[in-house]
Structure 1
């Protein structure tokens, strides 16, 4: 279901057009949109913009970390690094555009490379050992890598809705 809030994507056109962020609409909620960009290997940058229904506050966060569903679950893995881009408790028509400007500054400064390095260290030696880390490293990552290998890293195959022979 499309929400009025989803029109906020129009405020992030520079990220979409110049920096090749994607908007995985299937992962959006009524009060949350996300943008994602593949950086290298299993590492991504996620932008999450949301409105809090209980008080109308606006928030934008940027995450750098391993492939995952871009939502509140990112908090559960220490390899995902969160940057608070902006938070506003009043209705400000320029808020999201200003947040986009701050994100562009972070990208252009080269900071994503450093954040990826921190995320890689956290994957090898996590600050927090929890069940999420174990599930991610023992099951999700091996499965993700197996799927990529089976598709010969061909994104057209991965995006296809056709059933492949021998796969059900």
Structure 2
């Protein structure tokens, strides 16, 4: 016999973090926010002065940089971007760099994601001060002029197509048989 079916929803797992942000449990965001508000850096005391120099140099170059260094790697690098986003909520005009021993995460309203990710790639050295300096250096590196290259290549392809067509027309007209005078009417 068939009876009414009940659909049950699967239980929610306590291991899944609430999106959009997942902050690792060993990171105290209240402490991080207080340290960043004080001098732009939240890091171990051994790295603090070097990172403050990088932040000051970035400030002279017009970059409002905030740096957070956490001691352990999260399972993936996404939580570092989440930490950067939380810090950026308190410093909306800042570019935030978050480092762990093997990962980097960023947030910025000033720089585009491509530039930030290129900087993140260079910021994975394991040395927080060097990583932060590499990141700032990448932010100051001029972008390759892809738009100009695209325009030049497009115009070049268009000119090549036009030239090829002109040569095809010329070759076709050179190969076409020329009309000969009617020899029968010339003989009479």
Instruction: Give the TM-score range, shorter chain.
Output: 0.3 to 0.5
Q: Which of structures 1 and 2 has the larger relative contact order (alpha carbons within 8 angstroms, sep 6+)?
A: 1
Q: With structure 1 as the length reference, what TM-score do the two structures score?
A: 0.33
Return the TM-score normalized by structure 2. Answer: 0.30
